[in-house]
Amino acid sequence: MHRVFFHCLLLFVLAATPAAATLILNGAQPITERVTVQVITTAATNGTDAAPAFGNATQQSAIFGGINAIWAQAGIDVQFKFRLANWNNDFALLGNITPRSQDDLDTIVTNASNAGLLDPNPLVINLFLVRIVPGFSQTSDNTSNGLAFVDDNGITLWAGPNLVSFANGRDVIASVLAHEIGHNLNLDHITATENLMQSSGGGERLNASQIALARASAFSVPIPEPRTLTLLLVVLTSAAASRSVARSPQIFRKSAIPARPMR
Ligand SMILES: [Zn+2]
């Protein structure tokens, strides 16, 4: 299969950068579509040296929140799931030569497929956390960079471990990963200022044609109309209320979360 790919968005941030959030966004739209990403962490073949991920639970949630703020501009929710075991594979983690060939992305995805590691749902994007991204040499712990297919399934990402400890750094990872997801969703690079798909960063905005293109991607799956869900929730809520008066208020409130806006 011939696939187009771009290496993207080598960002550098000093750890001393102030902690203010840096995402540059247009307004959010009602969420009506969902993209699901499976995270596969690679490590050395002997099991050591796993690629850094997204920090602790709080840091990870801030990074995923940033990615969702970015894609909310297109009405797209991004959900992450994790393959629990690392993929112990020197080639996936580091490659053979420096800088790595961009073709390594294709090899990584093919090898992962042969090893049965890709998500069984072909509409779930596979994200490989690595130490050296195909097309690059190793970059510092203060950087994040990635390589992704355009209009096809597969992303490799380096998330420099120093970045997770401060807000600007977490935004850098969010921006780079949101950019790579954009490539899988069929977006190419453009030069517009402050746009997510600039090749070297500078903003996270999406324009109307990018939004239409991304939402038309097979990886962007419509979220079912909420009418049935609302009814179900109402039934469940009243059933829970009548059955169990001892249930805690918090649990009760959770089951009463309003349905998402209709398309
Ligand atoms: Zn790119």
What is the pLDDT averaged over residues 73-101? 97
Q: What is the pLDDT of residue 213?
A: 98
**Residue 145, number of CB atoms within 10 A of its CB:** 26
pLDDT digits (tens, 9 = 90+) for 18-74: 445 589 999 999 999 999 999 999 999 999 999 999 999 999 999 999 999 999 999
Domain residues of the chain, as ranges? Answer: 5-13+23-222, 226-255
Check: CB of residue 112 under 8 Å from CB of residue 92.
yes
More confident residue, 148 or 16: 148
Q: What is the DSSP string of 21-54?
A: ------------EEEEEEEEEEE-TTS-SPPP-S
Q: How far is the CA of 255 from the centre of ligand 1 (A)?
A: 40
Query: What are the structure tokens assigned to 70, written together?
Result: 């970015």
- What are 186-196's pLDDT values in tens digits? 999 999 999 99
For residue 67, which of 159, 150, 135, 142 has the smallest C-alpha distance?
159
Distance 6 CA to ligand 1 centre (A): 5
What's the CATH code, domain 5-13+23-222? 3.40.390.10
Quote the ligand 1 centre to 226 CA distance (angstroms). 34
Tell how far the Cα of 176 is from the centroid of ligand 1, in angstroms.
Answer: 8
Share of the chain above pLDDT 90, in %: 75
Cα of 224 vs centre of ligand 1, distance in Å, is 31
